[in-house]
Amino acid sequence: MAKSLMIVDDSATMRKIIMRTVRMSGLEFSRTEEAGNGNEALEKLNAEPVEIMLCDINMPEMSGSELVKKVRELPSCDDTKIVMVSTESSQEIIDDLLANGANGYITKPFTPEKFQEKLAPFMN
């Protein structure tokens, strides 16, 4: 069964680049959603949860780490795998995100191979 995917990033250009890179990785999704901020993401997740979420960290209004905490409060998203995509690469920040419910981390600049490697474990 193909999985559903949501890309959350405040940059529309970055969402397009991520989407294109995901497609190049060869991974196939049954449904893809985009959200430009945390509130939009939560609204869409409330309407229909996704199985995999790619999430930016640095976003205005609601940071990626705040969004992770809020998604983890949604019972419908208990099984959603959250993979952060960011230039932020300090181990402290990564550890904090993982402790708060993120499932993985991809640093920019990324490659299709990197998406394949990090998302494949969640595709079954």
- Count of residues near Mg ion by CB under 5 A: 4
Interface of this chain with Mg ion, residues 45 to 84, rule: CB under 5 A:
56, 58-59
In what side-by-side order are the strands of the sheet with 104-107? 29-35, 3-8, 52-55, 81-86, 104-107
Q: How far is the CB of 26 from Mg ion (least distance, A)?
A: 26
CB of 7 to Mg ion, least distance (A): 12
CB closer to Mg ion out of 3 and 9: 9
Name the nearest CA neighbour of 53 among 75, 24, 31, 25: 31
Q: Which is nearer to Mg ion, 69 or 116 (CB)?
A: 69
Q: Sort residue 101 into left (φ over 0), alpha (ψ -120 to 50) or beta.
A: left
Q: Which is nearer to Mg ion, 58 or 100 (CB)?
A: 58
Residue 57 CB, nearest distance to Mg ion (Å)?
7
User: Which helix H or strand E contains 49, and what residues bound it?
Assistant: none
Nearer to Mg ion by C-beta: 46 or 58? 58
For residues 23 and 34, what is the distance between their CA atoms, to the nearest angstrom? 14
